[in-house]
Amino acid sequence: MKTLSLMYLLIVFLPLLGSSVAGFFGRFLGSEGTAIITTTCVSFSSIFSFLAFYEVAPGASACYLRIAPWISSEMFDASWGFFGDPWSIFIPFHICPRIRIALDLCVIYPFLLFYANVLLSYLLIHFWFTRLQADKAATKAMPVNRVGDFGLAPGISGRFTLFQTVDFSTIFARANSWISRNMRLNAITLICILLLIGAVGKSAQIGSHTWSPDAMEGPTPVSASIHAATMVTAGVFMIARCSPLFEYPPTALIVITSAGAMTSFLAATTGILQNDLKRVIAYSTCSQLGYMIFACGISNYSVSVFHLMNHAFFKALLFLSAGSVIHAMSDEQDMRKMGGLASSFPLTYAMMLMGSLSLIGFPFPTGFYSKDVILELAYTKYTISGNFAFWLGSVSVLFTSYYSFRFIFLTFLVPTNSFGRDRLRCHDAPIPMAIPSILLALGSLFVGYLAKV
């Protein structure tokens, strides 16, 4: 039992250890030593995540670890601990803040970790601190996410007021009996809508979506991390984590469905007008997050988390492929100044094509197995909100296909519009960039089929 407990703790703390060593001793270790240590820590964390997934999901054996007390004041008791169940271990590939949020026992820790998440995102977006636009983008990300926290904090306080606890398991166990005794659904509805406001800020939904495309001012690996694995998907996972509570108030589910459907449509229609390669992919992220949110709104949380996992593969692949092109073209991001690059970037062209096919839901790559199911479930919901989500989602698929093939044509297939000096110096992705792209391409093609059961 102690060995298993240690394994669950290592899943969380190995990446933290690697980043701490790289941050404090990177100057002495050098670039190669830092890369080896960080990659090793993340790799072992991923391996332990697979083992935990096998134990928790097929074995139906949740892990409940209580480490130490934190705050104890009369009826208020919050302890440091971790809770590994099928929701939290479903995503073994996401080593960053979402696993920490997923494994927490107490509803307060996601709030604190959201703050840490926003701070890290601010620092990453602000990596090129001498650029004015990077400074503006990082500054915008902070207050926009703080707006979401104005909903999340009262939502956590409301849960404690009603249930006299901040423990996830206790809240879910007491919710049904509390509602049957008190029949005060309005309080639960308000709490769920406040939690939704927190998710809207983190997951770049309509009204709080502006910071996400501006985050493209950071380095491309940062964009891949924020849009595929950490920041924007944390809100979706928080709703799925609190799904037993969201199932009681139908009004909250209607609001969630409407917000997600409108976000997917808004982001898709905006993406067709963008000329910046990274901003097109960023708006596609907002659109896909809309699908995840309205999948939660129609009470299909497992499908939402399934699409969240699938989305990580092809979105990270698209960002890394875009970064390969931008790096080789002297940091040029305007698609109109590219063209004819398929012969110079055969591997990157193939990677981006596979990622785009998965993004649009083309049969039978990874994205098809979750995106198509979300639209099918919305159609078979036979409610006004379900039909609203289905039609907006279907139109968004059309726009997604348009801008996906538009940036492929403008970047790789149309006659070249780039400078001659850039064409002479351009080259395909080197081996260190090609290996992760190939692994992500395999995930973008096959993970959906392997995990669809």
Read off the pLDDT of each residue in 235-249 and give the average, rounded to a whole number.
83
What's residue 381's pLDDT? 85
Token pair of 371 as six digits? 């995106």
Read off the pLDDT of each residue in 83-109 and give the average, rounded to a whole number.
50
Read off the pLDDT of each residue in 58-81 and give the average, rounded to a whole number.
71
Residues composing the chain: 453
DSSP classification of residue 164: S
DSSP for 268-307, written as a single string = HHHHTT--BHHHHHHHHHHHHHHHHHHHHHTT-HHHHHHH
End-to-end CA distance of the chain: 30
Q: In this prediction, what percent of the chain has a pLDDT beyond 70?
A: 84
CA neighbours within 13 Å on the CB side: how many for 337?
14
- Give the span between the Cα atoms of 194 and 436, in whole angstroms: 39
Q: For the whole model, what pTM was predicted?
A: 0.84
What's residue 391's pLDDT? 92
For 155-195, write each residue's pLDDT tens digit: 888 877 777 777 777 777 777 776 666 555 677 888 888 88
What's residue 395's pLDDT? 92
Of 93-97, 225-229, 287-291, 342-346, the least confident? 93-97
What's residue 421's pLDDT? 67
Token pair of 245 as six digits? 């509570």
- Give the span between the Cα atoms of 236 and 294, in whole angstroms: 10
In angstroms, what CA-CA distances link 446 with 233, 306, 330?
22, 14, 33
- Give the span between the Cα atoms of 100 and 450, in whole angstroms: 26
Of 112-126, 343-357, 366-380, the least confident? 112-126
Phi and psi torsions of 200, nearest 5°: -60, -40
- Give the span between the Cα atoms of 451 and 2, in whole angstroms: 30
In degrees, to the nearest 5, what angle opens at C-alpha 371 toward C-alphas 444 and 396? 115
SS3 167: strand
For 203-236, write each residue's pLDDT tens digit: 778 877 777 777 777 777 776 666 666 667 778 8
